[in-house]
Every structure is written in C-alpha cells, then in structure tokens.
Amino acid sequence: MNILLWHVHGSWATSFVQGKHRYLVPVNAARDEWGRGRARTFPWPGSVEEVDVAALRPDDVDLIVLQRPEERDRVAHLSAPTIYVEHNTPQGDVPNSRHPMADRDDLVIAHVTHFNELFWDTGATRTTVIEHGVVEPQARWTGTLERLAVVTNEPVRRNRVTGTDLMPRFAQVAPLDVYGMGVAGLHLDRVTTHDDPPQRAMHTEIAQRRAYLHLCRWTSLGLSLIEAMQIGMPVIALATTEAIAAVPPDAGVLATRVATLVEAAQWLIDEPDAARQLGARARQVALARYGLDRFLADWDRLMEEETCA
C-alpha cells in the first residue's frame, strides 16, 4: 500500500513507518513543517520515500493519513481514502471542544488514546482508537544515579501544561535532568537541561536515573513515558489524562496530590530495590500494551477496512 503522511510527530511516525508498506513523506527545500522529509534522528527504514506532494497523481496514493486540519487542502487533488490521526487532547472549552474534522463522512478519526476520544466532540464523524506502540528502546534501567529524569518539550513556554512549576518541589528531593526540545531556557536550581538530544543517547542517559517523572497536567499520552517504562524505569506521575490507564499501581506512583508524589520520589531515591521492582513491572506492562507488533497490526486492520470500503 502507498501511504501519504507528513512528518509531524517524529516518535509516532517512527513507529508507524515500521510497517510493511511504502510511505510517501512530503519534502520541500526549506525542510520546514510542511516538508521535513525523512527523519534524521530516528531510525526510519528504506520504505520511506520523500515526495513533492503537489506532483503526486491520484494513482500514486492508496491511503492518506492526515494529522493537521490544514493538510486536507494540500491533498485536494488526490482521491484516496483518508484517516485523520488525532494526537492531542482538546484545547479551549473542554469538554465541549469541537474537533476540526467533526461531522464529516469522508474520513475516519483515529485517536491515540481513549481519553482523547472521550473528550473530543467529533459529531457524526466515525472514530476509533489505536493506542500507541513504540520501537523498544535498547537501553535498560540501572538507576545508579540518585537523580530524576524528565522528558518534555518547550517547558518554559508551556509551563503549567507540562508541570514546569512543580519541578522545584521535586528538585528538593533529588536533582532533575530535563531532556527535550526547547529546554535550554529552563533555569531552575538543581535542574540540568539537555536540549534535543538524539533519541538513543537520551534513552541511555535516562536509564541511569532512579525514576521517571511525568508532570504533565493536560496532554495526550507522551511516547517518552512509554519508552521510559519499556526501559524499566519506575514512574512518578500526575494522575491525569491517559496516564492513569497506562501506569498501573504496581508500576509506579500516580496521584493528584503533589505532596504524595514528592514523598514517592524520596522513597525511590532511598530504596533502589523498590524502584527496581516497580520498574520491572512498568517494563512488563508497557511491552504488552504498547508493543510495536500490536500497534502495526491495529493499523493494518484499520487501513484495510478503509481501503476496501
């Protein structure tokens, strides 16, 4: 199958393009948000080809995967079946947020979490949920460093969304290492930033930290959380959005009371054996629920249904 999709979310796309199909990814001279082409820091297979989307003919594409509303206009000259992937939680008047693809009969919306499907108002548009799947990281947890790892993007601009305001409370327990895009502007005591590191190097680094800290108040389920669990890291997380479904009680500590999470951080710093036990369960759960084989099989099933229909 020839599948057209933009390179929007690198981690999700890395899993998606591991399938058995031919993936057509738009590219332009600027390699901007409308033409990033192949990933440069993720392991993408040779079945991913860079294309000029305007030059594509209807017979070149069997299926279109959209991820932003504006993409629809850029493929108006194509007539292939369409799936819209919704990566994000709704914004604005939650839970009354109207989805930009609501009340359409020419596509299906695939949410990445059940929480997102619950909260988006999609009207009469057909919806389904295909939960995340990740390429299993090579790194394995050791937890030798009495430090906490955080992976997030733009924590300064997003602030309360990413729980940046909560970081100083955890930094009193142990130093924090914050990885991701746009973290260089984060200046907090006992917080060290690692701006946009290569994925494999980041996995190796966080695996040495005692626990993984997930402080997002309002976000879709981050792939970095799943990756940390598959590495074997114990999780300390706010009990919000899909995290409560992704992290069972025996794989980490979840709460909406921040003091409880701070106490849990101190406990895991003091008790490496407890951290090891929680991390082992986190890895077991994440491999079973968010494995790549299940993810690709779910997508093949949906894509077959749409193209056959």
Dist CA 209 CA 205 (whole Å) = 7
Give the tens place of pLDDT for each residue, 153-194: 999 999 999 999 999 999 999 999 999 999 999 999 999 999
Give the mean pLDDT of 20-29.
98
Mean predicted lDDT score pLDDT of the chain? 96
Give the tens place of pLDDT for each residue, 281-308: 999 999 999 999 999 999 999 999 999 9
Give the mean pLDDT of 137-156.
97
pTM: 0.95
Contact by Cβ (8 Å): 195, 257 = no
Residue ranges per domain, the chain? 2-133+292-308, 145-289
Give the tens place of pLDDT for each residue, 199-251: 999 999 999 999 999 999 999 998 999 999 999 999 999 999 999 999 999 99
Give the mean pLDDT of 69-80.
97
* CATH 2.40.240.10 for domain 145-289: no
Of residues 41 and 246, the one with the higher pLDDT is 246
Q: Give strand pairing partners of 253.
A: 236
Single-letter amino acid code for the residue at 148: L
What integer pLDDT is reported at residue 41 of this predicted model? 79
Give the mean pLDDT of 71-100.
95
- pLDDT band, very low/low/confident/very high, at 40 (cuts 50, 70, 90): confident
What integer pLDDT is reported at residue 42 of this predicted model? 81
CATH number for the domain formed by residue range(s) 2-133+292-308: 3.40.50
What integer pLDDT is reported at residue 43 of this predicted model? 82
Residue 309 has pLDDT above 80, yes or no: no
Residue 71 has pLDDT above 90, yes or no: yes
The b/e string for 184-218 (b: 16+ C-beta within 10 A; e otherwise) is: eebeeeebebbeebebeebbbbbbebbbbbbbbbb
Q: Do domains 2-133+292-308 and 145-289 have the same CATH topology?
A: yes
Percentage of the chain surpassing pLDDT 70? 100
With H, G, I as helix, E, B as strand and everything else as coil, classify residue 139.
coil
What integer pLDDT is reported at residue 191 of this predicted model? 98
**100: CB partners within 8 A, 6+ apart:** 69
